[in-house]
Structure formats: C-alpha cells, structure tokens
Chains A and B, each alone.
Chain A
C-alpha cells in the first residue's frame, strides 16, 4: 500500500506542478495578450474562455499538490480525482469544439454540406489541456489499485 501511495505522490506531485505551471502561463497570456492568445509549435493558448481555463488549471494543479501526503487515503485521492475530472471537462470540451467545427461544410452557397477535409481540422496546435488529458488518466490506475488493496 505504501509503495503504491509513494508512487502516486511522486507522479501526481510532478504532474501537479506541470498543470499548475500551464495554468499560470495561460493566465499570463490571458492577462497580456488577451483572447487572441499565443502559439508555440503544437501548443496553443487562445480563445474566448482563456481566463476560465487558466483558473480551472491552476485549481486542478493545486488540488493535485494538496493530495500528495498519504495519497491513497480516500479523502486525499478524491482531491486528485476531482482535479482529473476538471482536466477531462476542459480537454473534452476542446476536443468536442474541434469535432463540432469540423463537420459542417461552410455557410456559403455552393459549398458541400459536410466538410470533406474534416480530418485536417484535427491537426495541431492543441490547447495544453489536451496534452494533459492522457497524463491525467493515470488516476484511474490508482483508483483501481486502491480498490484492490483495500479488498485484499
């Protein structure tokens, strides 16, 4: 139990710092550049709700960091789960926005009803939350591990 707990603390300690850093950078971009945002290679921080996303990421990062001691205790683990759900919501909506925008062919006369090149629209750049999404899924392993350890 202790070994798994330590592993969880180390992983989500590092991950929490990364999430918090992304949140702070998004907040700085929102405060300085505004919703036009900035783009660095495959990473993009822009859009109407940049402030919201920054605040959500900062809070998620803080939740991860506050859950580190005695990580597998159910109350501590719950904080990490909530932080992960927050990242899933933001990343899920970023993906959903891409899907929704990729389907219609365009409003002008003569354009097709459905976008024949819809796959192109799924290419980078992506928001930081999308990069964080797969890394946050690791929480599912710890939920299952805790369940297994408590029933053993």
Chain B
C-alpha cells in the first residue's frame, strides 16, 4: 500500500500520540539558545551577525592575508618576471600557451597556463576555498546550519522549497558540485529540478567569489543582491509553472555543541582536496583552450560574431567572449580573465553578473545531466538562456538610464 505525504504525516502523528509521553521539562541554557536562534525576531539579527562574521573571515583570510598579502607578490613580482625571462622564443605558440602575453605586468593579464592558470588556481582560489570550507565546517559542527534552515523555511516555502534548501545553497557557495549532489534529500522531482536550476544559475562558487572579491570588492554586495533577487524571482515563477508538489520535509535539528577540531579538519581536507582535484585541471585546460583559440583566430571570429549581442544587448566589450568561453570550464578563471580587459565599472559589474548566471562550470554541468532527466535538463538550459538575456538586457538598460553604461 502506498501512502500519500499527508497520510504519512497523519500516521506519524498517530504513532507519536500513542507512544510518546511528554512530561514537565526544565529547559537548559542550550535549549533556550537553540530556541532564540530559530525565532525570526531574534534569529534573523543573529543570522545577520553570523553571515557578517562568515564574510569578514572569508575576505580577510583569503583576500587580505593570503592573496593580497603574499600570493600577488609571489606571482607578480617574482614568478612572472622569472618565467618570462627563462622562456625563450617569445613569439612562439608554446610561449603564448604556457606564459601568455610577454608584455603582461601581472598574472591576471598574462592568460598563460603557468601564469594566469597557476595564479588563479593557487593564489586566489585555494585560500578562498580553504576560508569558505573552514567556516562552513565550523557552522556545521556547532549545529547552526540546521537552525538557519528552520529560520529561512518560511521564506523558501514562498518559492516552493523547504528550509533545507539553504544547505545545498550554502554548499554551492563553496562549489556547485557538492551543492548539486546535496539536493537528493529533497522529496519530489519538482523540488530537485528547481533547486538544481537555481543553484546552476544564481549561486557563484567560492572560487568565483574569491576572484570577485579581488576584482570588484566595492561592487560585490550589488552582485549578490542581483543574484538573490533572481534566485527568489525565478524560484517563484518555476514554482507556479512547473508541475509537481512541494511537500514538507522532516529535518533533524541537533543540539548546539562544541566543534570537534578533528572532525572539522577531516571535512576541510576532504572538501578542499576534492575541489582541487576538480578545479586545477579545468583551470589549466581553460587557459590552454583560450590560448589556442586566440592563436588560431577562433576567438576573434567568435568575438566578431557575438559582438551584436555582447555590445548591443548587454553593453559589454566584445573581448568578454574569451572569458565566456573559459567560463564553461571554470567560472573563477573566466572572472579572473575579466581583470585583463579594459572596461568601465558598470560593464565589469554586468560582465561578472552575466558570467555567474551563464553556464555552470563543466563539472557542475556534468552532474546536472546525471541528476536531471532530459526534459528537466532542457528546461534548466532554457531558464539559463532566458536569465542571461533578461539580466544582461536589464542591467544594460539600467546602466544607460543612470548614464554609466
């Protein structure tokens, strides 16, 4: 006999009524804290403080301390001149692929495998990923993440998702691959399809956030605001038009506890190791493909062909075609490449938003194919293309209206 979701819940209620006896209980401080942090009136300000702490730690650890403090100097002042000096044959294709532009003064502009590729992978992405997963593991271990899920449950129900959706969303802020994998506990195909689509389009990964923080620190808040609006907006529309149900999901909320450092270390090393195995080969491959496309003239042809769309509709320079190509392999590499293109602050903002919502990286893309059926997959791609044009066009119009485009 198959029960519907409502019948199952009624059955659970009946079993609980008959078997559980609730006596007088004096709550402990831990219980009271757990209660205070899930009530909207007190829980939302506390969540704001936690997210502030998360963000500040991320920026200072990855940006100020490691990338700006040491890696920029290592790569731009020492490594780049050294590698430009030891490689002979500055006009050969091998030099162009491995080192990139011989006149480049920093690794963002060089576009070579050993210059931009290594700098982005090790100098920018690695500290960002370590910072992100360190705080994530801490929040998981103390038991705050499930409470955040309870807190946002009401908001996410408005778009047909359960509060648990905050877990894949948060995970995707580190890397979209574990984020997409984490949608499996969602109960219906509709919820899983919606979640994968929203993650693939609107959630930038930690590596990409690290590069954004490096390139446009003063605009990153606006980028997140634009993406959050899209996440809720598209979620609302999909909930209305996509067939299927959005039932409740029972979620275990463990008590608060002190973090176990060994546990945190294991989670951190596993996730960072997995990320590096996935990320570094794709970053380097992305650099090779972009360099080969430049050498064969394919990039210029593509830039010329896409110019009406890029310049006319989105208002960004046609040179952004190279990051768009690289973005299919690695978004962080693509955003990093934007740093080497001359454009206005508004064009940079538009380009970063477009790169975020345009195709997920190859690894996430492969997982989406695995998790979705063909109908869902095609719908995800259709949403993605629609969002690129809606956002690109809108941002261009807003920029023109403000006189900054």
**Least Cβ distance of B329 to chain A in Å?**
29
Chain A residue contacts of B217, Cβ below 8 A: 48
Chain A residue contacts of B45, Cβ below 8 A: 55-56, 59-60, 63, 86
Flag whether B73 is at the interface (Cβ < 8 A): yes
With A and B bound together, what is the CA distance between A101 and B32 in angstroms? 38
By the criterion CB–CB under 8 Å, are B33 and A78 in contact?
Answer: yes
With A and B bound together, what is the CA distance between A74 and B180 in angstroms? 40
By the criterion CB–CB under 8 Å, are B53 and A100 in contact?
Answer: no
Closest Cβ neighbor of A92 among chain B residues: B53
Flag whether B28 is at the interface (Cβ < 8 A): yes
Chain B residue contacts of A106, Cβ below 8 A: 73
Decide yes or no: A49 and B56 within 8 Å by CB, A55-B45, A82-B42 being known contacts.
yes
By the criterion CB–CB under 8 Å, are A75 and B32 in contact?
Answer: yes
Decide yes or no: A104 and B70 within 8 Å by CB, A81-B33, A82-B37, A93-B56 being known contacts.
yes
Closest Cβ neighbor of B34 among chain A residues: A78
Segment 72-99 of A: residues with Cβ below 8 Å from B: 74-75, 77-79, 81-82, 85-86, 89-90, 92-93, 96-97
With A and B bound together, what is the CA distance between A53 and B70 in angstroms? 28
Flag whether B46 is at the interface (Cβ < 8 A): yes
By the criterion CB–CB under 8 Å, are B60 and A93 in contact?
Answer: yes
Majority secondary structure of chain B interface residues (helix, strand, loop or mixed): helix
Flag whether A122 is at the interface (Cβ < 8 A): no
By the criterion CB–CB under 8 Å, are B56 and A96 in contact?
Answer: yes
**Least Cβ distance of B176 to chain A in Å?**
26
Majority secondary structure of chain A interface residues (helix, strand, loop or mixed): helix
Flag whether A109 is at the interface (Cβ < 8 A): yes
By the criterion CB–CB under 8 Å, are B33 and A97 in contact?
Answer: no
By the criterion CB–CB under 8 Å, are B35 and A78 in contact?
Answer: yes
Flag whether B402 is at the interface (Cβ < 8 A): no
Chain A residue contacts of B27, Cβ below 8 A: 74-75
With A and B bound together, what is the CA distance between A74 and B34 in angstroms? 12
Chain A residue contacts of B294, Cβ below 8 A: none
Instruction: Give the residue of B37, B50, B64, B77 whose beta carbon is less than 8 angstroms from that of A89.
Output: B50
In which size bucket is the chain A interface? Answer: 35 or more
By the criterion CB–CB under 8 Å, are B52 and A89 in contact?
Answer: yes
Flag whether A52 is at the interface (Cβ < 8 A): yes
Chain A residue contacts of B37, Cβ below 8 A: 82
Instruction: Give the residue of B53, B76, B77 whose beta carbon is less than 8 angstroms from that of A90.
Output: B53
**Least Cβ distance of B69 to chain A in Å?**
3
Instruction: Give the residue of A100, A108, A113 whose beta carbon is less than 8 angstroms from that of B60.
Output: A100
> Besides A74-B29, A101-B65, 12 other CB < 8 A contacts?
A52-B52, A53-B52, A56-B45, A60-B45, A63-B42, A78-B35, A81-B29, A82-B36, A86-B49, A100-B64, A101-B60, A103-B69
Q: Which residues of A contact B (CB under 8 A)?
A: 48-49, 52-53, 55-56, 59-60, 63, 74-75, 77-79, 81-82, 85-86, 89-90, 92-93, 96-97, 100-101, 103-104, 106-109, 113, 143, 146
Q: Which residues of B contact A (CB under 8 A)?
A: 26-29, 31-33, 35-37, 42, 45-46, 48-50, 52-53, 55-57, 60-61, 64-65, 68-70, 72-73, 76-77, 217-218
8 tightest A-B CB contacts, nearest first: A104-B69, A59-B45, A78-B32, A93-B56, A100-B65, A89-B53, A100-B60, A86-B49
